Amino acid sequence: MSSHLSPAELSVVEPTYFILGAIFVSLVLMQINQRVASPLLSIVDRWLRWFVFAFGAAQMCRDFELVDRPYWVLVIVFFIVWFVGETLYNWLAISALSVSPLPLFPRYAINASGEEWPVQSRLLKIREWLRSQGFRQTQALKAEVGGGVYLRVSVYQDTQATVRVQVTFIPQANGAISVCFAVTSITADGRRYLTDNLYIPFAGFYPEHWFVERAPWRRSLPHLLARHRARLLAGNATPVPFAVEPLADLNTAQHELDQVNTELGFLHAHQDREDLGKITHEGRYRVWKEIWMLNYLGRAARYE
């Protein structure tokens, strides 16, 4: 008796092994990401889960003879089903955020417990690198985003006080902590240069004198800082020392963002928010689009 599989049998085995392999890789990535909280690993895992769903559901339909259609047609159909399902979920989440009491631009306060760096070697190395480059910690801040959950921020400044590095620790649902950086400079002519790697969707508008570049893929602080300085050089910008402390600067910026996005129609007017929610329909669409771009492509909207 021959041990070779027929072409028909191979057509069943190959997708099955592909699906099982993808499930295994997805589980491994999930376990790793519970410790490192990497947005890049999250993107890979989301794509894997999407393909597993599409190919797995198509395989089940073919194995149990539920639908009499070609395999590749079933894969495309279930690929679209995932897209529609996640779109509905994201849209409901955005609508819930719009009517919730959670602030879109939370106010920062001094963190009375001081600088709080998670005791993880990968994060402590970042702090040591900042110190070795002449940056000194100026303020430790926090902002409540709802339900007793805080964004904890440590702000560093170079010796000339022309470059500020905002290190933000973002708690994850699984208990892990993700870290993001924002590098800011103010120029002699009043422009604000901001270079960050935040992966949280914004999708709104920035004031005209803000020049923002968001690069979620650039997870290295040295590379992000180098990119920021390259942008200043390319824009013939002359950074000047900050005139105010980080707390006052950040809260002023939050107020300015709220004002600009209300004027440009991303947010409803304050007196209408209780009845209509905070985010307009156009704003919700922009947030929905940026969620997809960040979750599956790691790309934010261009802000300049």
Q: Residue 97: is it exposed, middle or buried by C-beta count within 10 angstroms (0-12/13-18/19+)?
A: middle
Q: What is the pLDDT along the chain (304 residues), one digit of tens a residue?
A: 445 555 544 444 567 888 889 899 999 998 898 888 888 999 999 999 999 999 999 999 988 888 889 999 999 999 999 999 999 999 999 999 999 998 999 999 999 887 678 888 888 999 999 999 999 999 999 998 877 788 899 999 999 999 999 999 988 776 778 899 999 999 999 999 999 999 989 999 999 999 999 999 999 999 999 999 999 999 999 999 999 999 999 999 999 999 999 999 999 999 999 999 999 999 999 999 999 999 999 988 775 5
Rounded to whole angstroms, the Cα distance separating 151 from 92 reads 24
Query: What phi and psi, each to the nearest 5 degrees, are found at residue 239?
Result: -70, 145
Report the predicted TM-score, pTM, of the whole model to 2 decimal places.
0.88
Rounded to whole angstroms, the Cα distance separating 64 from 41 reads 34
- Looking from the CA of 117 toward its CB, the CA atoms found within 13 Å total 17
Rounded to whole angstroms, the Cα distance separating 122 from 55 reads 37
* Contact status, residue 75 vs residue 54, Cβ threshold 8 Å: yes
**CA 11, 13, 16: angle at the middle one, nearest 5?**
110
Rounded to whole angstroms, the Cα distance separating 193 from 172 reads 28
- 13, two tokens: 């085995």
